[in-house]
Structure 1
Amino acid sequence: MKITVIGGTGLIGSQLVATLQKAGHDVVPASLSSGVDLLTGAGLDEALAGAHTVVNVTNSPTFDDQSLAFFRTTVSSLLRAGERAGVRHQVALSIVGVDQVPELDYYRAKVLQEDLLREGPTPYSIVRATQFFEFMDAVMSWTAVDGVVRLPATPLQPIASADVADALADVATAAPLNGTLDVAGPDVLALDEIGRITLAAHGDNRRVVTDDQAGMFAAVRGDVLTTGPDARRAATHYRDWLSATLAG
């Protein structure tokens, strides 16, 4: 099967490309570095030529209200190009609980992305993932000041990016869901607890203070960023991933 991965050189995209190639698929990694620009449409027709499936794992360059315009333009461009190329399956990576946090501009933009895909001309699949292990350091950096990291006790169910790539590969090579699949890690952990686990693993002496007004995840209410019983649960635990990453 020929599969084009839009955003194929990023954290998820590069792993997805490798997984699909290992399985014997003809994979085209498309990104700005390969001359494909979703905003202008440049290079899209060439990248999608002959593709059965397109997987979109791109991110907006900003998390503010500009992300709405980014997804409106890029998804529309990709759907039009896919229709011209005869693409039979459009797959997009989204976020678990994305429609439950309208206070966040980026989450509203991702809902728009999903809606455009549902209303588009091509059979589709949406894979909603929880927060990646790899982003936990960045999340802590947003609220770190003078040896203190302030984090809310927001329940998360983080997942390894490699497990997300595996789920995307399975969905991309199967029949379109015309719906949504949630994927998550095996453990539900409060964000402030994740912060303490992470700092301890790094031998970092900074202190985590629980502050339910701190950072982006302060806007989240309840456990909407965790999954229900129908989700695909990955096997990799955060503590095990941390140990393996630091040992490597």
Structure 2
Amino acid sequence: MKSLSVKLFCLLLVVLLTTPAVAEIVVEPEDITWTTDAGIVTFQIRFHNPDPTAWADEVSCTLYAQDFGVFLPNQNEIGTYDVPPIPPDSFFDVFMEIPFDQLPPPPEVHHPWDPMKVQPYCTPDDHWDGNVDLIWAGPGGAGTIDSHLGTLLVCPTYGASEIHVVTNCVINMTYTITGVCAGFTVQLVNEDYTAAPSPLAANWSGYIRVTADATVPIGTVCCFTVNFTCGGSTIPLILCAEACDCGPISNEDLDWGRVKSLYK
């Protein structure tokens, strides 16, 4: 009996030693990016296998779109994909394309200038501002990750640009703003453009207001983060502000007021 037990133990040890380890796939918020070209938005998702020795098994993923904001429900399904096994210490990129008009409408954007008059100087911002929610599952693991990303043109010394943001938190929220670059100022304002309090009211909505002073070189891109906390959950919303050359705008044009940039 003792000899049989030793043999079984040795057999089990051999099985354990010869069974290959299986790694799990990892995706971080910065692994999801997107660009717009000719009315088509292309999403790129990078799936990582950080394990130095083991393969990661396959997973299936689905990507959903949301409005620009935080703690929001999923809306449009962007697409699905079956990710194959990934070798050790490697990655696999997935690309999904969808027409711009099949995504949730972009948020309202305000500028202190007439956008039609500065287009010869400022490149029109065609980025889709919104959120995406990635869900994956399979032998290679399971998980979900959100990415919240917007862009905004800002003309140094010409006043504030604003982008609308919505939230879906049923209790008061706190927030912090991090990563603001030198020469830029960022604040949250309410729907009536007054300064937003902290904490924010439940289901708050308003604007992220950005200005740039004369020290900011044209072409500078500043990506900062507004971190919203609802209960014990914090969601980072990233906004990339680009300093734009508005050209020779007259004082009369500066009085044009807050306008909606419908070209975005």
Structure holding more helix per residue = 1
TM-score (norm 2): 0.27
- The normalised TM-score by structure 1 is 0.29
The structure number with the bigger radius of gyration is 2
